[in-house]
A and B are shown apart, each in its own frame.
Chain A
């Protein structure tokens, strides 16, 4: 009898959770209709569901907190709360001196707003400025990626100075270490390919290569039949195409 009750409870809990997921996807599909053109319906669903699960993993239980968390995954990347570029986000979500969920999300929102004001700007003006600068890069003349080299940090600062200025030294060190690690995991080998990977991590979020928003990145990086150099070139071209689409879509929305 007791076992049956547990099974029933689990069953109903699963149904309730599935229903909550479906509702979250519906709400976000409406809010992020422009995103659908970039990732398609299934990509949007995958984003919302993975965001939903991560939000619950952070102990968020309120609908508005979960929705807000999922929105942030769409702005900052699907694993933004683990991303060294946004150390403040993970720290805030893990604060063990703020027991109230609403207050924790309030503090997170204040930090998000600070970041947006400095690094994104009204209507994403600063972000699109950075995309334009990145589109001016030439693959052949990209610097080599070295863990302790200053050339890559200098390049990142040149491309997107507003975002770079928001990073603490711990963030910068953590990010470069992670970029080095991710390049090694993808066996990129070629120095310029690693540099492309690092720039994309900086622009799109450190875990962009597993983000449902950028399925092409995963496909390219996991193509073991291609050399590191070939994958780097393809990554660069795909990123340029995405950048162009961003610029065009933004221009259409502004127009």
Chain B
């Protein structure tokens, strides 16, 4: 409905408690956003990719548990997870899982009282009191980032990637993908106003293959566009499914970017578990 003469108003961004007790992080100023991409369907012709359904979500959850992924005192942690990939993978594993290891995955989920991967992730989020928001497309993700009432202090990403793009889902040797490219980021440059800018202590991290291959790549473009500090991987990353992730070659590096360009490099060859 729409009452004549009553214009829709943007709500205030200043929080004040009207009643009851203060909840953890409710009054914190900034949002620390963790974006988790999803797996593709498993293909026996491509056993290197997505053998485990939970590569990315477990890697993020492990870091949350051991506090490598920890909000600062003024941050509230949000997990934005790409739902469609987990629904799709569950349906495929249930349908074709009897052919290989996926049967064990499905059995394991059901034995823990969950009805699907999505349900399992929700159970874990509830148990650990994580703020979990599902999204279903790149547009949804940008709407979320744009719609947050808090300023965004940091963004971390776990998932498939290549030098100039993040994949929310990747499969069939790259033929079926849902992606966000550096061009999409540049198109959304107005989002800069939503970010805490130029703060070296609030590092944006992109845990995906080749996100820092060169200055024009994903992490470099992100830093330059949103005026933030970021880090990415120079080489491919191997997600172990157990929460560990390593670079696949000894030459692997973590490369750090400021809004002005690359400023630091740390060698991180295998078997080092990435921070």
Contacts and interface: CB of A to CB of B under 8 A. Distances in A.
Contacts of B131: 97-100, 103
B5 to A, nearest CB: 3
A56 to B, nearest CB: 6
B266 interface: no
B5 A253 contact: yes
B132 A63 contact: no
A45 B77 CA distance: 37
B122 A97 contact: yes
A144 interface: no
B148 A106 contact: yes
Interface residues of A, number: 52
Given A56-B19, A97-B122, A31 B6 contact: yes
Contacts of B12: 63-64, 67
Interface string B121-144: 010011001111100000000011
If over half of B's interface residues share one DSSP class (helix, strand or loop), that class is named, otherwise mixed; here it is: loop
Contacts of B31: 103
A227 B94 CA distance: 57
A124 B23 CA distance: 37
Contacts of A33: 5
Contacts of B26: 61-62, 100-102
A139 interface: no
Nearest to A56: B19
Given A101-B23, A103-B131, A62 B3 contact: no
A189 B18 CA distance: 46
Interface stretch (A109-117, A180-188, A191-199): A109-117
A124 B18 contact: no
A220 interface: no
A64 B14 contact: yes
Given A74-B6, A97-B132, A106-B148, A63 B1 contact: no
If over half of A's interface residues share one DSSP class (helix, strand or loop), that class is named, otherwise mixed; here it is: helix
A252 B5 CA distance: 9
B9 A63 contact: no
A77 interface: yes
B133 A67 contact: no
Given A97-B126, A99-B23, A250 B5 contact: yes
Given A63-B15, A97-B131, A250 B148 contact: no
A16 interface: yes
B126 A102 contact: no
B78 A127 contact: no
Contacts of A96: 126
A16 B23 CA distance: 19
B57 to A, nearest CB: 13
B118 to A, nearest CB: 10
Interface string B3-32: 111101101111111111101111000010
Given A62-B26, A99-B129, A102-B26, A127 B2 contact: yes
B153 to A, nearest CB: 14
Contacts of A236: none
A203 B2 CA distance: 10
Nearest to A75: B1
A246 B4 CA distance: 6
A239 interface: no
A175 to B, nearest CB: 15
A46 interface: no
A48 B6 CA distance: 15
Given A61-B23, A96-B126, A67 B11 contact: yes
B37 to A, nearest CB: 18
A204 interface: yes
Contacts of B14: 64
Nearest to A126: B2
Contact of A124 (B2, B19, B143): B2
Given A75-B1, A97-B125, A101-B26, A63 B17 contact: yes
Nearest to B17: A61
A96 B129 CA distance: 9
B161 interface: no
Contacts of A124: 2, 4
A32 B144 CA distance: 28
A249 B23 CA distance: 43
B78 A63 contact: no
Nearest to A112: B8
Interface of A: 16-17, 20, 24, 31-35, 38, 56, 61-68, 71, 74-77, 96-103, 105-107, 109-110, 113-114, 116, 120, 124, 127-128, 203-205, 246, 249-250, 252-253
Interface of B: 1-6, 8-9, 11-21, 23-26, 31, 76, 78, 122, 125-126, 129-133, 143-144, 147-150
